[in-house]
């Protein structure tokens, strides 16, 4: 049985004062039936990890493929782990677009994360132009093949499907579209990894909010969500946790 996961990506949002939202989330959901993960900016990982104290998981939003060195502004997987992180988001569409991250680079980062004992949340998803061209499954399949390392297991990797055109836009794919892609991802993972592939959790991301969470979570092969803006407020994210 795959344990459900509600993951929040704070992106470039949050100051120390924002940690009151984490306190409120923990107070409202002290023993959730699903796993809860928050990925704040790097400046808050240590403080959030100390505050969460094992009640919710904390992750980073990126890591460098190398363990150390002359890489100004970058953060290694070992540094995230040292700060208290247990997970790291990799290959998010904003990193792929804004920083020209390739599948090969995402794979290298994922291998670095796994080597440090972090769980890699690897993101895949198509742009609006790719969706309109009927290339969704081809794009997602290519990203899966190139971004997920050979040593991935159900315990070390989570896949997040985020259609780029639905992130932060308020637009959401139909339930049938979500099911099509999630079923495709499951088949690809099982074809590559066998039983391990069946155990990898698949998250949906892209304008997930309290109003649509329950129906999305009822879709085939949706094991949770990677939530953006709605994860910044305890009331909104808590409602999504409750739905899951």
Give the C-alpha separation, 53 to 59, whole Å.
Answer: 13
- Cα dihedral: 188, 109, 168, 185 (round 10): 0
What is the model's pLDDT at position 244? 95
Q: Which residues does the annotation mark as catalytic?
A: 92, 162
What is the model's pLDDT at position 44? 98
For domain 5-243, the CATH class is alpha beta
pLDDT averaged over every residue in the chain: 96
Q: What is the pLDDT of residues 31-69, one digit of tens each?
A: 999 999 999 999 999 999 999 988 999 999 999 999 999
Q: Which residue has the tokens 């790097």?
A: 42
Q: Which residue has the tokens 């969706």?
A: 131
The answer on pLDDT for 196 being more than 90 is yes
Strand-pairing partners, residue 9, are 39
Q: What is the pTM of this model?
A: 0.97
Residue 168's pLDDT band, with cuts at 50, 70 and 90, is confident
Q: What is the pLDDT of residues 74-133, one digit of tens each?
A: 999 999 999 999 999 999 999 999 999 999 999 999 999 999 999 999 999 999 999 999
Give the whole-number percent of the chain exceeding pLDDT 70: 100
Residue 170's pLDDT band, with cuts at 50, 70 and 90, is confident
Give Cβ neighbours of residue 61 (< 8 Å, ≥ 6 apart): 9, 10, 11, 39, 40, 41, 42, 88, 89, 92
Residue 167's pLDDT band, with cuts at 50, 70 and 90, is confident
What is the model's pLDDT at position 171? 82
Mean pLDDT of 209-223: 96
**Who has greater pLDDT, 38 or 1?**
38
Q: Percentage helix, strand, coil, to 5, in the chain?
A: 45, 15, 35
What is the model's pLDDT at position 169? 82
Nearest alpha carbon to residue 226 among 214, 242, 215, 237: 237
CB 216 within 8 A of CB 175: yes
Q: What does DSSP assign to residue 3?
A: P
């Amino acid at each position: 049985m795959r344990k459900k996961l509600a993951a929040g990506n704070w992106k470039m949002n949050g100051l120390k004062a924002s940690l009151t939202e984490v306190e409120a989330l923990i107070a409202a959901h002290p023993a959730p039936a699903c796993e809860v993960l928050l990925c704040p900016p790097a400046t808050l990982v240590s403080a959030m990890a100390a505050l969460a104290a094992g009640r919710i998981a904390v992750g980073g939003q990126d890591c460098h493929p190398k363990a150390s060195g002359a890489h100004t502004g970058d953060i290694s997987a070992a540094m995230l782990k040292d700060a208290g992180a247990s997970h790291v988001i990799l290959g998010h569409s904003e990193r792929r677009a804004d920083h020209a991250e390739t599948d090969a680079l995402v794979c290298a980062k994922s291998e670095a994360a796994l080597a440090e004992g972090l769980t890699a949340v690897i993101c895949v998803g198509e742009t609006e132009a790719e969706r309109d061209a009927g290339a969704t499954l081809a794009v997602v399949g290519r990203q899966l093949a190139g971004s997920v390392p050979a040593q991935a297991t159900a315990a070390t990797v989570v896949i997040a499907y985020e259609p780029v055109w639905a992130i932060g836009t308020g637009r959401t794919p139909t339930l049938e579209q979500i099911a099509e892609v999630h079923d495709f991802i499951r088949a690809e993972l099982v074809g590559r990894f066998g039983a391990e592939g069946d155990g990898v959790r698949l998250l949906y991301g892209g304008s997930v909010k309290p109003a649509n969470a329950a129906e999305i979570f009822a879709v085939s092969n949706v094991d949770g969500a990677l939530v953006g803006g709605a994860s910044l407020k305890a009331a909104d994210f808590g409602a999504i946790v409750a739905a899951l």
